[in-house]
Every structure is written in C-alpha cells, then in structure tokens.
A and B are shown apart, each in its own frame.
Chain A
Amino acid sequence: MYNLLIAPFADNEFLRDALLGGVLAALICAVVGTFVVLRGLAFIADALAHGVLPGLAAALLLGLSPLIGAAAGTVVMMAGVQVLTRRSRLMSDTAIGLFFAGMLALGVMITSRSDSFTGDLTRVLFGELLGIDRQEILWQSVALAAVAGIAWLCRRPFLLLCVDPDVAATSGFRVRLYESVLLGMVALAVISCFQAVGSLLVFGLLVAPAATGSLFGRRISTVMVIAAVVGVGCVYAGLLLSYHADLAAGACVVMLAVSVFLVAFAVMEVVRWRHRPAPLPPHTHSHPHPGEVAA
C-alpha cells in the first residue's frame, strides 16, 4: 500500500511539487468555482479559459512571460464581453460565444505561424502539472490568498448576486462592480491554474468539484469546503493514476473530478428514488362507484 499511495511522492521531488501545485489549483478553483456554479457563470468561465489562448501564443511569440499573455487575453475577453453586452441588444451568452470563438480562432492563427509552437501549445492547452516549478507555486499561493481574501470580503454581495441581482442592487451593493470583481476572480483562477492543468482543462477543475459540492451543501461555505476536499482528493488520486498508468497528469485530475460528480449525482438519484413517496394503496372500499354494479 505504501508503494502504491505514498512512495511515488516520497521518492520524487517533481511529484511533490506537482502535488503542491495541484492542491493550490484545486483550492483556488474551489473558492472561485463555487460562485461560478451558483451564479451560473460556467459559460463565461469556459470562454475565459479559452480566451487566454491568443494572449499566451502572442507572449510565446514575443518571448514574454505566459502569465502576462494570459492576463492580457482575459482582460480583452472580459472587456469585450462587457462592452458588447451593455452597448448592444445581444444577450450576454451571444456576446460570450462571439468572443470565445474569435479569441480561440485568433490563438490558432497565431500559433499556426510557426511549427515550433506545437510543444508550447500542447502545454498551454493541457498543462504540465508534472513540470510545475517553484516560481509557479509561489504565484499560485499569492493567487489563492487573493481569491480567498476577495471571496471573504465580498461574500455578501456575491451571495445576493447568486440569489437575485435586483436584491443586491436594492441592498446598496453596486451590481456591475461586484459582477466585475467576480469575473476578475474567474480570470485570476484561469491564469493561475492553466500551467497546472492547461487552459482547456482548468474549466473542469473550476466547475466539477463545486458542482459536486452543490449537490450536498446547503450553505455556500459547505459547498466550498466539499469542492476543496473533492478537488484536492482528485489532484492526489489523479497524480497517482498518472504515475502508475503513465497518463497525462492534468487530464487524469480533471477526469476524476468529473467522474466524482457523475457518481455523486447517480448516488443522489438512487437515494431519491428509494425514498420516493409510496404509491397510494389500492381502492378497496365496498360501495359501488357511479356507473358500477355492486358485487
């Protein structure tokens, strides 16, 4: 058992770093993902995760830090969606879809200029959890402290936004400001986690553990704690699966997170089915109904 569960981490420093980076990513995504799921921001979160691609590709082309490129990509994406939604009659999901497709296409166009990007592009899209370095872990720690601090400070307006933006507005909270802060947290989560699980898979880590938490929790704090436990557990189990079966680490983590949700959902459905109200007993009284003949 030790060889199966502990030894890979005890014997390999890169796996310990991967575990630390993955745990930090899971905690960031638990905090942010809870609000993404409860506020119904999954589509914009997905679009932001893909919208970083042209920024990353441009950064690689110019020899800049990928973090700067990712930040630029998310800022353009968020600003574009907000402007288009407010200035046009388009529904927000249409604006998001337009920028989502446009940014992804732009990213592919930039990367198609050079064959040497292939390796970098794969790393951007699918992450390199096993190659995470100390500087990235430090950056993730800062990001975790930031999202936890913002979530605590803004918990009341965020909660009201989840329930009803009109109630948030009539409670004296500026809805646009706090929606922007919430989207900023999503962007920060995407930027700080794409190196661990990749820009394509970070969405899974944002949504799946929080969705599992929302199946069981009756408080936002409970949903967040369940999401954190599920996310951290999936990072640990995913790294072991990756190590023993020689599979891509980030994909293993996200696949497990989605699987945990599906299993939890199935269990909930079975429990609900077993506790369904009993059917009414057969109609057994002796008098005849109208139109019937008494026995």
Chain B
Amino acid sequence: MSAPIEAECLCVGYRNDVVVHDLDVVVEPGHLLVLMGTNGSGKSTLLRTLAGLQPPTGGAVRVFGEAPGRHPERVAYLAQRPTSALGLPIRAADVVTMGRFVHLGLVRRMTRSDRHICAEVMARLGVDRFADAAISELSGGQQQRVFLAQALVRGADLLLIDEPTAGLDQAGRQLFAEVIDAERAKGTAVVMATHDLVDAEQADLAVLLARRVVAAGRPDEVLTDTHLREFFGFTDRH
C-alpha cells in the first residue's frame, strides 16, 4: 500500500521563486509531520503543493502513490483562515457539511450516514452549540473550530493543516491536540505547519524550513540548539 506522502528532492515555490529545495520525506499512516519555519519560509507553499493546489517546481512527490490532487476524497486541507467566508450568510452547520461534498459530487444526496458523521464531529469539537449561527457571527476561535470540523468530516486519510492553533485559546489548543491524537490513532497521517515547539516535540517527523530545508528527521535530531539558532533567523538565504 502506498504511503500517504513520499517526497524525493522535492522543490516547491513559484516559477521564478523556489522557496523549498530538495526535501526528502516519507510520511506513514498515523504519523505526524510538523513543518516549522518563520513567516515566508515555505510552510504554506509546501502544504499547498501536497494538497495539489500548485505543482512542484522540481523533484518528485506522491500522495497515496499518485500526483497530489488525484485522491481528493482521501486528503483534507485546512488553510490558515479562509477569510472570504467570514462575511457570508451561511450557518456554521452548513459550512461543516460542505466537507462531505467531496464524497457526494454534484448530485448524490446526503445520506443518514453523512449527517451522522457531521453531527458526531460537530459534537466532538463543540460546534453543535453554535451550529445555527451564521459563520460571520462567530468569534475567531469558533470559526477555526468550524473549519477544522469541515476538514474532519471528510474522513480523510491525510490531513494537511496550516497553523491550526493560531487564534485558539488554551482550551481550544487542548481540544485540537486531542482531536489530532484521535485522528492519528485511527491511522490518519497529519502534516501540520506550526510555530509551536511543543507541537514539534509530539511529532514523528519534523522539518525546519527557512526557504530551504534546515533539517528534517526525528524531532530529537531536528530540534537541536544549532538548528534552532539557524531557524530563528541566523540563516543563509538562497
């Protein structure tokens, strides 16, 4: 069976601006890969490439054995906050339900099973308490929970999450950590961009980015004083 992610000499970025060079990494089912780096270091670009939203600029990457984007039903991508949605007159429950569209396509009707999945995830994340409120009426932390619920109801085997705990309070962070642990226990692989060293210490793999790969491997190998000094700004730029 193909691994969720296999990358060899992967380069990501834009036509004239490659932001991550030569990344080699394999993410197995149930593993957590944490991407750490300063703003503009390439974390979000790497996640977008893994989600199939932009092509790699070099090297090879396979998601479940094929090019990124070929298995949308097995991959969920949660961007930093989709700000375009925030003023919309759409109920939180409907935003969560949209996560099932990848399985329903254009015309298939929502089944009882689809509704059960949405209700279960909303209850787990506490979204059911404000399910009928318009997304525009919710606080930043509540909106973050709604979009996390939308990603979870997809039932994906690979979660790509971009700075999920930014804007969450302590209780929200705790809940998020529990949810990610539960997903990993089910065999879901998780790739998460974060600034939080605590997240990185819980991971199976960590990658330090500074517009290049500073270090990649097990957290205890990556989160060394030397690497972190380089990571926190004393870096050579390409």
Contacts and interface: CB of A to CB of B under 8 A. Distances in A.
- A and B: interacting chains: yes
Contacts, number: 85
Contacts of B76: 170
A58 to B, nearest CB: 37
A160 B102 CA distance: 11
Given A156-B106, A163-B85, A172-B72, A220 B77 contact: no
Interface in B157-173: none
Nearest to B154: A171
A218 B138 CA distance: 13
Contacts of B90: 159, 162-163, 218-220
B93 to A, nearest CB: 10
A251 B204 CA distance: 66
Given A38-B88, A172-B105, A219-B90, A167 B98 contact: yes
Nearest to A213: B89
A162 B95 CA distance: 11
Contacts of A223: 89
Contact of B104 (A156, A162, A167): A156
A164 B85 contact: yes
Residue of B69, B72, B101, B106 contacting most chain A CB atoms (<10 Å)? B101
Given A217-B89, A218-B134, A220-B90, A164 B102 contact: no
Contacts of B134: 218
A224 to B, nearest CB: 11
Nearest to A34: B89
B111 interface: no
B189 interface: no
B85 A162 contact: yes
Contacts of A172: 72-73, 102, 105
B98 to A, nearest CB: 6
A157 B89 contact: no
A207 to B, nearest CB: 15
A166 interface: yes
Interface in B130-164: 132, 134, 150
B52 A169 contact: yes
**5 tightest A-B CB contacts, nearest first:** A164-B82, A172-B72, A171-B102, A163-B85, A170-B77
Interface of A: 38, 40, 153-154, 156-157, 159-160, 162-167, 169-173, 213-220, 222-223
Given A159-B101, A173-B101, 12 more contacts: A157-B101, A160-B101, A162-B90, A163-B90, A164-B79, A167-B150, A172-B73, A172-B102, A217-B89, A218-B91, A218-B132, A218-B134
